[in-house]
Chains A and B, each alone.
Chain A
Amino acid sequence: MNEIPLTHILFVSTALFFIGAYGLFTRRNLITMLMSIELILNSVNINFIAFNKYLYPDKLDGVFFTLFIIAIAAAEAAVAIAIIINLYRNLHSIDVEQTEEMKF
């Protein structure tokens, strides 16, 4: 593990973050936008774990932050999908361009 420099792992997480951001910019469907957010959260988790492993191997704080991010991501996905299903029931579409119910 030690022969790979930290910057290579950070390159992977950076690329994954911007792939997620690209998906968030281009997609106009709520479920695919949710998937892009999951990719972004995963890139953050990779960063926390890599920093913990390479720079502070005497601590475990990165592990805890990752665990809490995973828990909050699960809660966020569940609430988002409940909202999406409710929206579909009312509007028969989950396209962000057509969801203007709350606009006034």
Chain B
Amino acid sequence: MSASAVIFYILSVFILATGLLAVTTGKIFRSAIWLLFSLTGVAGLYFWLQMEFIAAVQIVVYVGGIVVLILFSIFLTQRSGKEMPAPVRGRVLLSALAACAGAVLTYTLIRHYPFKPSLHPAMEAGVANIGMQLLSTSEHGYLLPFEVVSILLLAAMIGCIVIAIKTKPGEK
């Protein structure tokens, strides 16, 4: 087994273990920190797959943006040191059973599916190629989805302000 394979398995175990801790730990603040580690591990997996741009976006948006947002919302709404009430035991058992059954079923299907790689020469997934195709108006360009997503982000931003703005008591 080469160093690359060892790195892949270490990253996989890291992602899955921290992900599992994020959904099972009792304190909500710890849960957010485990989620942060799991997302960083996914970014490492993208680096391992030689998708440096996606890894950078993952770190900037998920680790730097979403997790920080979640931490702020925890500080605003929860007592972060307090244990959350444990879920009912029956629900835990049934959920674990459902999740395991789903995972086994899906993985059985995946393992027997013959994946056929395309035989065309590989294209370098560098920032230059990604940028050219993302903003291209030709047949395989992604300019229209790019603009739609920018409008969606604007709408989400305005929507957040409208939803979370504080109304004075009395006027509703």
A interface residues with partner B (beta carbon < 8 Å): 1, 3-4, 6-12, 14-23, 25-29, 31-32, 34-36, 38-39, 42, 45-46, 49-50, 52-61, 63-64, 66-68, 70-79, 81-86, 88-89, 94
Interface positions of B from 73 to 122, Cβ below 8 Å from A: 73-74, 76-78, 84-85, 87, 91-92, 94-96, 98-100, 102-103, 106-107, 110-111, 115-118, 120-122
> Helix, strand, loop or mixed for chain B's interface?
helix
Find chain B residues with CB under 8 A from A38 CB: 35, 39, 62, 66
Jot down 17 A-B pairs with beta carbons below 8 A, ordered by A. Answer: A1-B4, A1-B50, A9-B45, A10-B110, A11-B110, A19-B20, A22-B98, A23-B22, A25-B98, A32-B23, A32-B28, A39-B22, A46-B45, A56-B118, A63-B125, A75-B152, A82-B160
- CB pair B54 A66 closer than 8 Å: yes
Which residues of the other chain, B, contact A58 by a CB distance below 8 angstroms? 118, 120-123
In the bound assembly, the distance between CA atoms of A61 and B118 in angstroms comes to: 14
Size of interface on B: residues with Cβ below 8 Å to A: 85
Q: Given that A22-B99, A81-B70 are contacting pairs, would A8 and B76 also be in contact in the complex, using a CB cutoff of 8 Å? A: no
Q: Which of B19, B72, B76, B163 contacts A19 (CB 8 A)?
A: B19
Greatest chain B CB density within 10 A among A4, A20, A68, A73 is at A4
CB distance from A64 to the nearest CB of B (A): 5
Tell me which of A6, A10, A16 contacts B16 (CB under 8 A): A16
Q: Report the bound CA distance from A59 to B28 in whole Å.
A: 41
Q: Which of B1-23 contact A (CB under 8 A)?
A: 2, 4-5, 8, 12, 15-16, 19-20, 22-23
**How far is A32 from B94 in the complex, measured between Cα atoms in Å?**
19
Q: B110 contacts A68, CB within 8 Å?
A: no
A7-B111, A26-B95 given; A20·B120 CB < 8 A: no
Q: Could you tell me if A19 and B77 are in contact, using CB atoms closer than 8 angstroms?
A: no
Q: Which residues of B contact A29 (CB under 8 A)?
A: 28, 78, 84
Q: Would you call B46 and A49 a contact (CB within 8 A)?
A: yes
**Cβ-closest chain B residue relative to A15:** B16
Contacts of A36 in B (CB 8 A): 23
